[in-house]
Amino acid sequence: MFAGSEAARRDWSLHLVHACSLRQNRILEAAAGLVRPGGTLAYSTCTFNPLENEAVIARFLVDHPQFRLRADDRPPGCSAGRQDWLERELAIPEIEYTTRIWPHLTPGDGIS
């Protein structure tokens, strides 16, 4: 969004990132209650910020041991989630099963 929106660049702040992360935690928590036993919960964002990606997923997995990440094949131009971008208490090995989609390595504009 930064490339096409002066307002997005102007309004960005660390406070906004933390607020978005908290919102993502609440959304994921609510969605988890809708998953039937043996079902799948997909989580995706349109940001590269680890506070909204790996940290949200790691926190969720710590709080919900009945859920686990699937180790699926990644499409070309994608990479594993970054455990080294997390705070120590959230640096779980399974985070490598998450997928980051890089716009400079895949066709399109991010995931849009």
Active site residues: 46
Sequence letter at residue 27: I
Residue 63, token pair as written in the block? 């709080």
Helix or strand run (H / E) with residue 29 = helix 14-32
In this structure, are residues 98 and 59 in contact, taking their beta carbons and an 8 Å threshold?
no
Classified as helix, coil or strand, 78 is strand
